[in-house]
Amino acid sequence: MNQTTASTWKQFDELQRKIKSYHEAVALMHWDLRTGAPKKGAQGRSETIGMLMTEAFRLQTSEEMGNFLTYLNSPAVLAELDEIKQRIITVTQEEYDRSVKIPPKKYQEYTELTALAETLWEDFKEEGDYAGFEPYLAQIIEKTNEFIDYWGSKATRYDTLLHMYEPDLTVEKLDEVFGQLRDRLVPLVEAIKEASQEPQASFMNQLFDKAQQEKFGLFMLEQMGYDFEAGRVDESVHPFEITLNQGDVRITTHYLQDDVTFALFSSLHEGGHALYEQNVSPELAGTPLGEGASMGIHESQSRLWENFIGRSLEFWTRYYGDLQQHFPEQLKNVTVDEFYKAVNRVENSLVRIQADELTYNLHIIIRYEIEKQLFNDGLSVSDLPKVWNEKYKAYLGLTPPNDSLGVLQDVHWSGGSFGYFPSYALGNMYAAQIVNTMRKQLPNLDDLIAEGNFAPIKEWLTEQIYKYGKSQKPAEIMKRVTGEELNPNYLADYLEQKYKAIYGLS
Amino acid sequence: MNQTTASTWKQFDELQRKIKSYHEAVALMHWDLRTGAPKKGAQGRSETIGMLMTEAFRLQTSEEMGNFLTYLNSPAVLAELDEIKQRIITVTQEEYDRSVKIPPKKYQEYTELTALAETLWEDFKEEGDYAGFEPYLAQIIEKTNEFIDYWGSKATRYDTLLHMYEPDLTVEKLDEVFGQLRDRLVPLVEAIKEASQEPQASFMNQLFDKAQQEKFGLFMLEQMGYDFEAGRVDESVHPFEITLNQGDVRITTHYLQDDVTFALFSSLHEGGHALYEQNVSPELAGTPLGEGASMGIHESQSRLWENFIGRSLEFWTRYYGDLQQHFPEQLKNVTVDEFYKAVNRVENSLVRIQADELTYNLHIIIRYEIEKQLFNDGLSVSDLPKVWNEKYKAYLGLTPPNDSLGVLQDVHWSGGSFGYFPSYALGNMYAAQIVNTMRKQLPNLDDLIAEGNFAPIKEWLTEQIYKYGKSQKPAEIMKRVTGEELNPNYLADYLEQKYKAIYGLS
């Protein structure tokens, strides 16, 4: 690097880190709002979040940033930079190009609105009050539509949103992949409905002491290698992972007294996200590459720990005894095989985050279709509960008794995260494909899980995925790790094999 | 207001609120660092705090702010403004004049250093590792001295620091007031030492379940009128109150298993601070006047609830039965009178925050003298533990067995709060003087306390003190409320009367 490039890079890096600082402050405020911040402070807090995000936004779209990029993103200068720095420039340029189109005032209004709505959503959900929530949601959608206008519509308006969470993902691709998946899963779900043998699960309907659940959940996080000195675990209405900085990667969970597995699987899930963030290469920490590659890849890591490991027979062979020790009364007459089958019982249900591994994908498809309608077909906000309920009836044969268990169940829309839901199903597909490769490279994978020896698994994931952070795109990662593009058949194969065994299907 | 003034004021107000937003973010980060933030994130966090404080500082000292003040703080314009706005200008001008003298780079270094040191202090204290802490403390003192150079020394260098926490307070005044107080309290402590009757307190040396302590502490906060919808209660090594915004006034406490009163009295203490902040007039919220008048006045409100109410016979007449219900085994053979006397036992001790109401003042005088020596007489940081221990021997007849119980016991110095400690003794004196007036205006004060009817007391304090926020100076408040200047005799009278009764002295 010549001297001008070196000194420009240094200033650019400082500006980046300053922007990161704002994001850390805002992340802490979001964490706080969802882990017990007092209600009466929410209005003031949302103004503060709005102000800080606006400042970060102002820096991101500043003339200074524009000038750095003009200089650094020229072919001659790029040629002087190493691959990591080149990728930092690419990512920053994309972010800059997107952000610079939004008027700062609009941006501030949006962040204040979503911060407030996320907080209020908790109450609206609890009370099942969609009418109360509707005006906030309507405003968020209106503002999101304005943003799409500023950014410019891709193939469809909804494509523009998808691309933000999963680079290069399109409605066309998603329709195709979801179509393939549905064509293989629907017959499976049907076959299961007709199956003669059904897992026994009545023992699940007991009370499980929260303190014991908490103890077991923390034990499992320890087992999987979550670094408690670089994070903390709290409770919130909806479990989440949030990264403040690389030494502070927090997760939350939510305990249900009458469901011993919900908090546990959500801990494994958020723990999977956290392992990814805690193990990004330290040289990327604090740069725009010091985070997960995309929402879909992130979700593949949470799903991998939650389902592919946590809902496997090997896992429970190792840990069921421990769980029994925490709940000796409730589980005394239940064998590990019965328990394994019970946590893999397929049952059409209303609540996404409580759904089984198989029908979960239908919950996502419902949301995907609704979001497409909202942005591409002008579905009105007041019709949302109706459409929601119709789709649940059509896809899962169920009608929510109230909006708490229906359209109000997820936090995402209150935070403006439209286009995010498909990541969950993408994550399942990525995870199946990645596990398929891992199984070849760690031939004793099942034994490792059955021994609770997760270190080699964490190590493999770190080497293959975690350490790269955002320095490669999702498609590049999949190609490098698995040798091929996203292929939904791995997930379908895995689910077929697993559930045929559990339900005794041929 | 003419149009130019109105529009300038609007812009000035927006800038103020923006600065407040930074302070809210930083306050949350400090709260978080002390209530469970992971260790590995502390370094990154302190850089973030440094960056945000530097931004706030940059705004506070900006040309824009300078221009607003030049315009608004001119006699002709001031005459157009109401009293509140005039006072906002005065306070902001003082802050501006002080801040503009510090180079932003120096300021950033200082905030990063103190944020880090505050976090590390917890470990150093736990390990009693003064050698580990010393280099941080030395740097903080060095930087504080640089700041004094920038600000310019008042009568003495230490005066400059005192003034920051208590406007117009001087070493001269403090020497005088502390002298008067000492002259009356020392004979009282002596007499108590010689007293033939001594409160029985061996029942205090039992284990008191933490969960029960927590329940009782929260109950008492409810009783005193702490608004839980505008705050939350957590645990930390050292209890504190922190205001994020007027709807979010948090307190922490610390439970000791072998001391049933520590957490309770610290809750009443921090609860007193919080009542003040929660009840500042809403029209002042978000302005520079939307907080307590000074550290000393603030402390008067915490002391008032902790000691004047919480350590009174009337208080325990009302609440001892409740406490017994929480600890039926431990307290079954203890009468209310015995308990009252036990919580007012005078005993020379090593730890300030566990000291009784009377000797507490000696702990403050020790710190005051040490801080004077540090800044006025060149006491070296490496000699601090020695001097600390000598003074404890001289004033309280005790030698700390280790630095955890000695020079490392308080968080203040790690945060750079030199000149703060005297506020605690000032608070005692203010409180005694305020209670003397309150007793005249609420003649049934003792009955109200004995009934647990705190609403009229909170109401009186709101009308007399809380609602004014920072719109009056400490001396103005004392004059308006009590009709006279600070007079240490009220505290001395109160303590004499109380302790003579308890110890059966004539």
Q: Which 371-400 residues of chain A touch chain B by CB within 8 A?
A: none
Confidence of residue B182 (pLDDT cuts 50, 70, 90): confident
Is A269 annotated in some ligand binding site?
A: yes
Nearest residue in B to A40, CA atom: B247
Q: What percent of chain B has a predicted confidence (pLDDT) above 90?
A: 89
User: Could you identify the residue written with the tokens 């003082």?
Assistant: B94
What CA–CA distance (Å, rounded) separates B253 from B234? 6
CA A16 to chain centre: 25
- pLDDT reading at B111 higher than 90: no
In DSSP terms, B248 is beta-bridged to B245
> Which of B248, B249, B250, B291 would best serve as a mutation to test chain A binding (most A beta carbons within 10 A)?
B248
- pLDDT reading at B279 higher than 90: yes
Residue contact B247–A38, C-beta within 8 A: yes
For chain A, the helix, strand and coil percentages under 3-state DSSP, each to the nearest 5 = 70, 5, 30
Class of domain A171-503: mainly alpha
The amino acid at residue A144 is T
Per CB-CB distance under 8 Å, the chain B contacts of A40 are: 227, 229-230, 246-248
Residue contact B42–A247, C-beta within 8 A: yes
Q: List, as one string, the DSSP characters of A389-452.
A: HHHHHHHHS---SSTTTTTTS-SGGGGT-TT-THHHHHHHHHHHHHHHHHHHHSTTHHHHHHHT
Residue B3 is predicted with a pLDDT of 92
CB pairs under 8 A between A and B: 115
> Which of A34, A51, A123, A242 would best serve as a mutation to test chain B binding (most B beta carbons within 10 A)?
A51
What CA–CA distance (Å, rounded) separates B381 from B402? 17
In sequence order, the 6+-apart residues with CB closer than 8 A to the CB of B241 are B249, B250, B251, B252, B270, B273, B274, B277, B302
The amino acid at residue A478 is M
In DSSP terms, B251 is beta-bridged to B233, B241
> Which of A23, A40, A105, A108 would best serve as a mutation to test chain B binding (most B beta carbons within 10 A)?
A40
- pLDDT reading at B271 higher than 90: yes
Residue A43 is predicted with a pLDDT of 86
Cβ atoms < 10 Å from Cβ of B48: 27
Taking CA atoms, A39 is separated from A89, A105, B245, in Å, by 41, 26, 12
Is A30 annotated in some ligand binding site?
A: no
- To the nearest whole Å, the CA of B358 is away from the closest chain A CA by 36
Q: Which of A45, A48, A229 sits opposite B38 (nearest CB)?
A: A229
What CA–CA distance (Å, rounded) separates B379 from B395? 19
3-state secondary structure of A195: coil
The amino acid at residue B70 is T
Show the tokens assigned to B201. Answer: 């307190």
Show the tokens assigned to B76. Answer: 């002709």
Q: List, as one string, the DSSP characters of B32-92.
A: HHHTT--GGGHHHHHHHHHHHHHHHHHHHTSHHHHHHHHHHTSHHHHHHS-HHHHHHHHHH
Query: Is A270 considered catalytic here?
Result: yes
Interface predicted TM-score (ipTM) of this complex, two decimals: 0.89
Q: List, as one string, the DSSP characters of B378-439.
A: ---GGGHHHHHHHHHHHHHS---SSTTTTTTS-SGGGGT-TT-THHHHHHHHHHHHHHHHHH
Residue B153 is predicted with a pLDDT of 86
What CA–CA distance (Å, rounded) separates B102 from B100? 6
The amino acid at residue A17 is R
Q: Which 310-329 residues of chain A touch chain B by CB within 8 A?
A: none
- pLDDT reading at B280 higher than 90: yes
Residue A197 is predicted with a pLDDT of 86
Q: List, as one string, the DSSP characters of B321-361.
A: HHHHHHSHHHHTT--HHHHHHHTT-----S-GGG--TTTHH
In sequence order, the 6+-apart residues with CB closer than 8 A to the CB of A355 are A349, A363
The amino acid at residue A299 is E
Taking CA atoms, B496 is separated from A49, B184, B357, B499, in Å, by 51, 9, 12, 5
- pLDDT reading at B115 higher than 90: no
B338 touches chain A (CB under 8 A): no
The amino acid at residue B497 is Q
Q: Is A377 left (phi over 0), alpha (psi -120 to 50) or beta?
A: alpha
3-state secondary structure of A120: helix
Pairing of strands A233-235, B233-235: unpaired
In sequence order, the 6+-apart residues with CB closer than 8 A to the CB of B11 are B68
User: Could you identify the residue written with the tokens 């069921």?
Assistant: A320
Q: Which 213-232 residues of chain B touch chain A by CB within 8 A?
A: 227-232
The amino acid at residue B159 is D
Pairing of strands B248-253, B233-235: parallel
User: Could you identify the residue written with the tokens 């109230």?
Assistant: A402
What's phi and psi for A300, nearest 5 deg?
-60, -35
Determine contact, residues A470/A293, Cβ cutoff 8 Å: yes
Residue B446 is predicted with a pLDDT of 98
Q: What angle do CA B165, B188, B271 make, to 5 degrees?
A: 40
What CA–CA distance (Å, rounded) separates A33 from A41? 9
Per CB-CB distance under 8 Å, the chain B contacts of A18 are: 51
Q: What percent of chain A has a predicted confidence (pLDDT) above 90?
A: 89
Residues of B marked as catalytic: 270
Residue B15 is predicted with a pLDDT of 97
Per CB-CB distance under 8 Å, the chain A contacts of B59 are: none
Show the tokens assigned to A396. Answer: 């899962």
Determine contact, residues B431/B303, Cβ cutoff 8 Å: yes
Question: Using CA atoms in the order A220, A221, A223, A229, what is the torsion angle rounded to 10 degrees?
Answer: -150
Query: What one-character DSSP code corresponds to residue A379?
Result: -
Residue contact B45–A230, C-beta within 8 A: no
In sequence order, the 6+-apart residues with CB closer than 8 A to the CB of B247 are A38, A39, A40, A41, A42, A43, A44, B230
In sequence order, the 6+-apart residues with CB closer than 8 A to the CB of A48 are A29, B21, B24, B25, B245
Query: What one-character DSSP code corresponds to residue A206?
Result: S
Q: Which helix (H) or strand (E) holds A75?
A: helix A75-78
3-state secondary structure of A234: strand
Q: What percent of chain B has a predicted confidence (pLDDT) above 70?
A: 100
The amino acid at residue B327 is F
Residue contact A32–B28, C-beta within 8 A: yes
Q: Which of A112, A118, A270, A357 is catalytic?
A: A270
What CA–CA distance (Å, rounded) separates A166 from A422? 9
Q: Which helix (H) or strand (E) holds B250?
A: strand B248-253
- To the nearest whole Å, the CA of A250 is away from the closest chain B CA by 9
Q: Find the radius of gyration of the CA atoms of chain A.
A: 23
Residue contact B28–A24, C-beta within 8 A: no
Is B163 annotated in some ligand binding site?
A: no
List per-residue pLDDT tens for chain A, 506 residues long: 899 999 999 999 999 999 999 999 999 999 999 999 999 998 889 889 989 998 999 999 999 999 999 999 999 999 999 999 999 999 999 999 999 999 988 988 998 899 889 889 989 999 999 999 999 999 999 999 999 999 998 899 999 999 999 988 999 999 999 989 988 998 998 899 899 888 988 999 999 999 999 999 999 999 999 999 999 999 998 899 999 999 999 999 999 999 999 999 999 999 999 999 999 999 999 999 999 999 999 999 999 999 999 999 999 999 999 999 999 999 999 999 999 999 999 999 999 988 999 999 999 999 999 999 999 999 999 999 999 999 999 888 899 999 999 999 999 999 999 999 999 999 999 999 999 999 999 999 999 999 999 999 999 999 999 999 999 999 999 999 999 999 999 999 999 999 999 999 98
Q: Which of A17, A55, A245 sits opposite B41 (nearest CB)?
A: A245
What CA–CA distance (Å, rounded) separates B490 from B304? 13
Picking from B219, B215, B209, B253, the residue whose alpha carbon sits closest to that of residue B234 is B253
Q: What is the pLDDT of residues B89-99, one digit of tens each?
A: 999 999 999 99
What CA–CA distance (Å, rounded) separates A57 from A46? 16
Q: What is the pLDDT of residues A375-428, one digit of tens each?
A: 999 999 999 999 999 999 988 889 999 999 999 999 999 999 999 999 999 999
What's phi and psi for A402, nearest 5 deg?
-160, 170
Strand order in the sheet with A233-235: A233-235, A248-253, A241-245
Residue contact A24–B44, C-beta within 8 A: yes
What CA–CA distance (Å, rounded) separates A359 from B458? 57
Residues in chain A: 506
- pLDDT reading at B250 higher than 90: yes
Show the tokens assigned to B333. Answer: 């053979």
Determine contact, residues B2/B201, Cβ cutoff 8 Å: no
Averaged over B210-233, what is the pLDDT? 98
CA torsion sign, B192 to B194 to B197 to B198? positive
In sequence order, the 6+-apart residues with CB closer than 8 A to the CB of B20 are B245, B286
CA A482 to chain centre: 21
Residue A395 is predicted with a pLDDT of 86
- pLDDT reading at B389 higher than 90: yes
Q: What is the pLDDT of residues B433-444, one digit of tens each?
A: 999 999 999 999
Q: Where are the domains of chain B?
A: 3-152, 171-503
B211 touches chain A (CB under 8 A): no
What CA–CA distance (Å, rounded) separates B152 from B160? 8
